[in-house]
Amino acid sequence: MGVLHFVAPKPFTRIVPRALPNPEALVAISGAAELACAALVAVPRTRRVGGLAAAALFVGVFPANCQMALDARSGTAKAIAYGRLPFQIPLVAWALSVSRR
């Protein structure tokens, strides 16, 4: 997903909450953060910091996921967007568990 932030940024810029400045820059920053977290988690020596960074990232992008749910138009898209919100909790829990190993 981190690569997609650079290759196809439009879907990501659309879900940046309107109150935040410079959506393009925020999408690039979050994409780079996703790639960095993945690299950190992949290496045993940096896994602790990677897990903590990933947990912070999952919390940090939650407002964009909420914006996506609020903006969804069709019933199916809206159901999917709202349905994926609770999955942030196990993602954060997973990242924290990775940081403890």
The mean per-residue pLDDT over the stretch 57-71 comes to: 95
Residues 27 and 11: their CA atoms lie apart, in Å, by: 10
pLDDT at 101: 80
Question: What pTM value is reported for the model?
Answer: 0.88
pLDDT, tens only, 10-62: 999 999 999 999 999 999 999 999 999 999 999 999 999 999 999 999 999 99
Task: Transcribe 37-86 into DSSP letters.
Answer: HHHHHHSGGGHHHHHHHHHHHHHHTHHHHHHHHHH--SHHHHHHHHHHGG
Contact 54, 46 (CB under 8 A): no
- How many Cβ atoms from other residues are within 10 Å of residue 95's Cβ? 21
Domain ranges (residues) in the chain: 4-100
